[in-house]
Chains A and B, each alone.
Chain A
Amino acid sequence: MKCFNCGSFLYEGDTCNVCGADVSMFKKIVKESNALYNKGLEYAKDRNMSRAVQCLEVALKMYKNNVNARNLLGLVYYETGEYTLALAQWVLSKNIQPENNLANEFIDNFQDKRSELDRINSALKKYNKAVSYAHQGSYDLAEIQLKKLLNDTPNIVKGHQLLALLLIRKNKLADAKVALRKAEKIDAGNPMTISLQTAVMDEIKEEEKDLSPGEIKAKRSAEAPEEERAPLSGDDVIIPESNYKERNPIAMAILQTIIGVIIGAAIVFFIVTPAKTKSARAELASVKTDYENQISTLNARIAELEGRKETSDEKSVTEIDNYKNLIEALNYFANEDYTKGLAAAEKIDIDKVEDADFKSLYENSIAARMATLGDDLYDQGIYAYESGNYETAADAFYRSYEYNKEQNDDSLFLAASSYWALGNDARARELFELYTTEFPEGYRIDEAYYNLEQIPANASGTTTEDNAEEAPAEEYVEEAPAEEAPAEEY
């Protein structure tokens, strides 16, 4: 509460702390104004708007800055169709207390909703026109205008009252009664409404005075109010009555539920399931690809292991054969059967042997023996060659060369000569060429070249007794053994 004199806040006590004015009376006035506001509020809650207006107006005459009373008065005016007065109260209220004031909301509602403002303005214009028609005596026009107005804006109390008055004039008492009942619903304590209602009831009683109860009932049903129906305008559309009847709501509900379930199932079947299936397929494909990759890796591993196994098997077989041949060769050598021993030794593939003991045994027993045997075979070859047995000589010489390749260049030359003597020119040429390649500084190199010139380049491998004897190589072979000391010994 503010001091009426200086506007400062008032505390307890009867004087203002700032200006020293006596505020005891002022406080009583404000208190009384608030009491009237409370009373007005109670009336408004009971929809006795006229009494509420009376109380609130007195409250404001006591203390015009009573914001609550002013706001409520505006609201009551608004409810009864006094829109302009309502707006005026709220504007004043806002002027008194600009902040934290309900009136702000009410005014904003007016200003924000342009259509609402237009509707209210149009309603007020219609009402004024109806009043004007009524004053001029155009009661029917006034009635039509009011019915339109109340159809759009049903809370204008004065409109209902004027309509009721016009209906009473036309002796449409039942309709007038309805109009007054609507006015009463908005403002229960309106003196004019009560007055008109009393008059209407008196008129009705007067008319029904001489009638029996049945006649009264028939009369009332005949006069059943057409009031609820809105007046027709030029823009209204009349819809013919339809034979359509609302179906059983329970059956409809069940049917709708079933349709809903079917639609839901269809959505799940056609949309959700394919999406899930697609996702599952993609996942499956991914898993399948992973497994295929793993399988291919494992297959590769298996192939690799099998390859290793085969290699290992081959190696094992070769090693076993080498051991067998070594034992066989040593056995033959022990029995002095050198031919078979050598044949067995030749089968040993020493290059593939990794065992150091095996190699040592081979070098000490077999290789050394083979070298010795090379010399023996050379001697055998010389003996056969001199005997004219070129075939044996060729074999012996070549084997001698084989057993000691590095040293037996002479064996190779004589082997070639033996083949030449046999008429196997191709083999002879082959071995002479081998000689020139292997022993380019051999002491028979000139002879080898000479013999190669003598042997035709396209020499064949035919062998005959006659041409063997006529072989030119024989001349050299005859000479060669003569020069060799060991050959003479044989």
Chain B
Amino acid sequence: MINFDEEIQKFHPALEISDVEDAIKTENAISDLTDLMMSVMNSKQEVNQTDSIKME
């Protein structure tokens, strides 16, 4: 049996065309695996640089 009140809360207002700018910003802000990989590589470089300074 369906719980109507519970189900009705699952429906949210749709984004209107005027909200497209916000939608684009939100979507563009999402980072992907390449971003993560870049971040990892940058962190790795920083660690390597710190180690070399300490060695010196």
Contacts and interface: CB of A to CB of B under 8 A. Distances in A.
A132 B27 CA distance: 26
B27 A88 contact: yes
Given A29-B34, A62-B32, A168-B4, A125 B15 contact: no
A10 interface: no
Contacts of A65: 34
B8 to A, nearest CB: 6
Interface string B23-46: 110011011111101100100000
Contacts of A84: 14-17, 19-20, 23
Given A25-B37, A199-B1, A165 B14 contact: no
Interface string A195-225: 0100100110000000000000000000000
B28 to A, nearest CB: 6
Given A21-B41, A134-B8, A127 B14 contact: yes
B54 to A, nearest CB: 25
A169 B2 CA distance: 9
A371 interface: no
Contacts of B13: 127-128, 131-132
A292 to B, nearest CB: 84
A134 B7 CA distance: 11
Nearest to B1: A199
B33 A85 contact: no
Contacts of B38: 4-5
B39 to A, nearest CB: 11
Given A84-B15, A121-B16, A165 B30 contact: no
Interface in A118-163: 120-121, 124-125, 127-128, 131-132, 134-135, 156, 158, 161-162
Given A121-B17, A199-B2, A85 B34 contact: no
A120 B8 CA distance: 23
Given A124-B16, A131-B11, A26 B24 contact: no
A63 interface: yes
Most buried by A among B1, B30, B33: B33
Contacts of B30: 60-61, 64
A132 B14 CA distance: 11
A442 B17 CA distance: 143
A63 B32 contact: yes
B2 A168 contact: yes
A91 interface: yes
A26 B17 contact: no
A114 to B, nearest CB: 12
Nearest to B38: A4
Contacts of B31: 64
Contacts of A29: 33-34, 37
Nearest to A66: B32
A196 B2 contact: yes
B20 A88 contact: yes
Nearest to B23: A88
A92 interface: yes
A441 to B, nearest CB: 139
B1 to A, nearest CB: 7
A22 to B, nearest CB: 8
A343 interface: no
Contact of B23 (A60, A85, A169, A203): A85
A29 B35 CA distance: 11
Contacts of A48: none
A64 B8 contact: no
A265 interface: no
B37 A4 contact: yes
A120 B17 contact: yes
Contacts of B27: 88-89, 92
Contacts of A60: 30, 32
A302 interface: no
Interface in A72-115: 81-85, 87-89, 91-92
A89 B28 CA distance: 9
14 contacts: A29-B33, A83-B14, A87-B23, A120-B17, A121-B18, A128-B13, A132-B13, A134-B8, A134-B11, A162-B11, A165-B8, A165-B11, A168-B2, A202-B1
Interface of B: 1-2, 4, 7-20, 23-24, 27-28, 30-35, 37-38, 41
Given A64-B31, A83-B14, A84-B14, 5 more contacts: A4-B37, A61-B32, A165-B4, A169-B4, A203-B1
